[in-house]
Amino acid sequence: MGRLEGKVAIVTGAASTMGIGFATAHLFAREGARVLLTDIKGDVVAMRAQSLRDAGFAASATAHDVTLQYDWGRVRDHVLTEHGRIDILVNNAGIALPGGIGEATLDDWNRHLAVNLTSAFLGCQMAVRQMRAQGGGGAIVNISSSAGLSAFANLAAYCASKGGVRLLTKAAALDVAAEGIRINSVHPGHLDTDMIAGARAVAPAMVAAMEANVPMTFLGVPDDAAAMILFLASDEARYITGAEFVVDGGLTAK
C-alpha cells in the first residue's frame, strides 16, 4: 500500500520534466494516487502524463489556465468525471520575472499576482467547495517560496505574490480546520530546475554564487520539495494545518 493509495490528486504547473510539479505528480503516482497533471502548456503536460502511464501509473492531463475561474471549474469537472472526487490539490503553477521596484512594470506586477496568488485563491476555493460536498476532509498544499519569507533584491513582485500565498494559506486553513481540510504551504529555495540548467549553460558564475550562498553549499532538486509535499498530502500530516515548511538548504535561517 502506498502512502496515497486510493487518493485523487490534482497538481498544477506540471509540464516541466525538471520542475516541482512533475516531480510531485510522479511521486504521488508512485505512492498510489490517481493524478491529474495540469499546465498552461496542454500538449507538453499531456506528454508528461503519458510518461507516467507508460510506467504503469494512473495519470491524466489537461490544459489549464490557473488565472481563470471558469477553467478551474472545467478542471474540477474533468477530474470528477474521471475519478468522482478530489482528495488533494497542489497549487504549484507560478512564474518569476526579475524586476526591482523601480524597473518592474505594472503588467509584470499584475501577472505575478494573477499566476502566483490569485490562482492559489481560486484553486483553494474550488477544492474546499468540492471537499465539503464530499463530506469534508482533504489536503491542499500551496507552493510559495523562500522569497515569500525573506525578501530578495530585484524580485519585488515575486516576493509580494509569494508572501501573499503564505498568509492566504494560513487564513484559509483556519476557515476549514474544523472540517478536516488541511491547507499548508511549502517554501522551496534554490532548486536545480530547468531554469537553473539553462542559466548554468550561459552564466555558470551566477549559479556558482547561488550555490555558495546556500549554507548546505549545494542546490536542491525538485524531488526535495516533492518529498515535503507528499508528507503534507498524506495522512501522516493529519494534525498539521496552516503551517509553512521550508526546503531551502538553510537559506532563510541566515
Annotated catalytic sites, by residue?
158
CB burial of 91-123 (b: ≥16 within 10 Å; e: otherwise) equals bbbbebeebeeeebeeebbebbbbbbbbbbbbb
Torsional sign, CA 134, 63, 139, 9: positive
Pairing, β 181-188 against β 8-11: unpaired
244: three-class secondary structure by DSSP: strand
Q: In terms of Cα–Cα distance, which of 176, 192, 197 is closest to 241?
A: 176
**Neighbour tally for 62: CB within 10 Å:** 19
Residue 89's DSSP bridge partners are 10, 140
